Amino acid sequence: MKNFKSLIFVAFMAGLTMAGCGGSIEKAPKLPMEDFFKNPDKTAYQISPNGTYLSYMAPYEDRMNVFVQELDGDSAVRVTSETARDVAGYMWANDNRILFLKDTGGDENYSLHAVNRDGADMKALTQFDGVRTRLIDELRDIEDEVIVGLNQRDARVFDPYRLNIVTGELTMLAENPGNIQGWVTDHDGKLRVAVGIEDGVNSTLLYRDTEEDAFEVVLKTNFKNTLSPYFFTFDNEKLYAVSNLERDKEVPVIFNPKTGEVEEVLYENDEYDVSGLSYSRKRKVLTTASYTSWKRERHFFDEETEKLFNRLEQELGDYEIGIVGTDHEEEKVMIRTYSDRSMGAYYFYDSTTDELKKISDVSPWLDENIMAKTLPIKYQSRDGLTIHGYLTLPKGYTMENAKDLPVVVNPHGGPWARDSWGFNPEIQFLANRGFAVLQMNFRGSVGYGKKFWESSFKQWGLSMQDDITDGVYWLIEKGIADPDRIAIYGGSYGGYATLAGMTFTPDLYAAGVDYVGVSNLFTFLNTIPPYWEPLLDMMYEMVGHPEKDSVQLRQTSPVFHADKIQAPLFIAQGANDPRVNKDESDQMVEALKERGIEVQYMVKDNEGHGFRNEENRFDFYGAMEKFLEEHLLTEEEK
């Protein structure tokens, strides 16, 4: 869901137009659609463990593949040659061998492959029909092994295996009894913690002292009250974890698995959940806890790490800064920057010389000076909740001078996810076309605490949708939105929210774009991937039960209310989508056609839950542009 670019426009700017408030607005030049959505030249940089080589992903025959070059070299070797689909992800397993994942046509059944840094000795390690691979531990201190999870024995659950990346030999470490959702190793690579679901809705934490011992339950809670283990303390005795036990916000803690008790709260934030913990493998210290307000923020436990970030911020300015990799000695560091208006760049930092060197811009053809700013906003829901979000106005507009603009409302997917500040090619593309874009973290969005999350349960199409609607009314009341020119667009749950908006508030939207969205909550719950089945009772509690809540689910399934839709609708779907079955879109299209309602339907046979192949992205966003232009823009704005 990242990494797109554009040509740099320097001298030429579009002509001046008059804003509703009477002042002149200098508009950005209209950039080619492809500039926002084409593959980057180079991205996903990593450093080899010995610090001698750089790797990155770049296009080969329009697909993203892996390349390797010497740290100080100027030529690279392409080590993968995928032409059907992008490499889904990769990593250095040791100084010589690289692992990468790929799936088939978007089915998300990822298989793991290995290749030497010179492109030799390519081997498929976990390529089994209908089997999905998960990485459990990269085992950085063990040269030729990793630990993976495979659902080969039972499609519903993942068994952990120790995998030899040279020979391909697999050794099962434990048999999943049917309820384990995650595994945790200690710093020696020993499998010692399991996290599972019991009775469908109760979270369990299991522990063992050694791999020869049996796992025993040490903590059992309802899934709403969680303790998520991140990694062991450095003596391999206790766990660093994030927990919301007996509190609303998630906090980092030290948990004793032998007693089943939280021994220490390491940091508290009264407003936001902590969502990440980091540590130094070499120095064996906890370094940071991270959380997201409107931007990502860090709490530092370690003075050396804090000094490093201060050093980087002095030179790199106001960009968000992330450490995306180091060598084994943690002396050579790969840095990634970004902002709301830039995909940013990669930098190489050598701590032994204090040298910071720029490697590559991610989107050199997109001039950030003509991109639009993404502003944090908040408003009140009709029942008194504070809803946080983001508003992106076309270049030249501010909250003060923006009046009667065409708007695209963009609810996020998940739904138990969140929007955050940063470069989003969709948002910038729409802003470049003259649309204001409203994103909101409606109830259920993560990061705001347990109560806010729980307030979304069984509220699909109800108060969750009201939060979106209230954001639209807020924008209208501000005078920013032209009430006759508002569209709604989203993917996955955002696609559901699009259909719900079009059916339950039909007078509010002039057009809608549903991208791999749910239309029928009954069929959605019946066609989930097999590895979601252990979580089905939890989903019933969060979404609704097909029998016990059948009246509500029918009421909130847009497919049963297609007759209420008044505005044009565009639907896009991947044929191999394992999460939102193609039937979800087929049903909606059929229901609309039966009622004579205008609907445009795009299906890609080689895609799944979202379009990854470049040519398919071009088709989708090109069609969406024409659709929104036709139904929202004036002739002058076109």
Q: Which of 55, 381, 492, 557 is catalytic?
A: 492
Instruction: Out of 339, 388, 577, 631, pick the active-site residue.
Output: 577
Quote the CA–CA distance of 188 and 147 in Å, as a whole number.
12
d(CA 148, CA 557): 38
Place of tokens 């021994």: 263
E strands in 88-208: 89-92, 97-102, 111-116, 123-124, 133-137, 145-150, 159-164, 170-172, 180-185, 191-198, 202-207
What gap in Å lies between CA 338 and CA 342, rounded to an integer? 6
**Which residues in 46-61 are b (16+ Cβ under 10 Å) and which e?**
bbbbebebbbbbbebe
Distance between CA atoms of residues 339 and 321, nearest Å: 9
Q: Break the chain down into helix, strand, coil percent, rounded to 5.
A: 20, 35, 45
Half-sphere exposure of 621 (CA within 13 A, CB side): 24
467 is catalytic: no
Integer CA distances (angstroms), 623 to 72, 199, 618, 626, in order: 44, 46, 8, 5
Instruction: Specify whether 492 is catalytic.
Output: yes
Q: Which residues, at least 6 apart from 490, have a Cβ–Cβ distance to it below 8 Å? A: 410, 411, 412, 413, 496, 497, 498, 513, 514, 515, 517
Backbone φ/ψ region at 193: left (φ over 0), alpha (ψ -120 to 50), beta: beta
Per annotation, catalytic residue among 113, 388, 412, 609: 609
Please name which of 158, 196, 100 lies closest in space to residue 529, comparing C-alpha atoms: 158
Residue with tokens 């659950």: 157
Tokens of 405: 């603009």
Residue 383, judged by CB atoms within 10 A of its CB (0-12, 13-18, 19+), counts as exposed
Answer whether 209's CB lies under 8 Å from 218's CB: no
The values of phi and psi at residue 251, to 5°, are -135, 155
Burial class (CB in 10 A: 0-12, 13-18, 19+), 190: middle
Q: How many CA atoms lie within 13 A of 525 on its CB side?
A: 20
Which residue is it, tokens 């996810």?
Answer: 417
Pairing of strands 569-574, 599-604: parallel
Helix (H), strand (E) at residue 68: strand 63-70
Omega before 415 cis (within 30°)?
yes
Q: How many residues does the chain have?
A: 638
Q: Helices 425-432 and 614-632 meet at what angle, rounded to 10?
A: 40
Q: What is the DSSP secondary structure assignment for residue 39, as one 8-state letter?
A: P
Provide the token pair at 95. Answer: 């100084």
Rounded (10°) angle between helices 463-477 and 493-504: 70
Beta-carbon-side half-sphere exposure of residue 310 (alpha carbons within 13 Å): 8
Q: Which amino acid, one-letter code, is at 124?
A: A
* Euclidean distance between CA atoms 258 and 185, whole angstroms: 16
Catalytically active residues, by annotation: 492, 577, 609
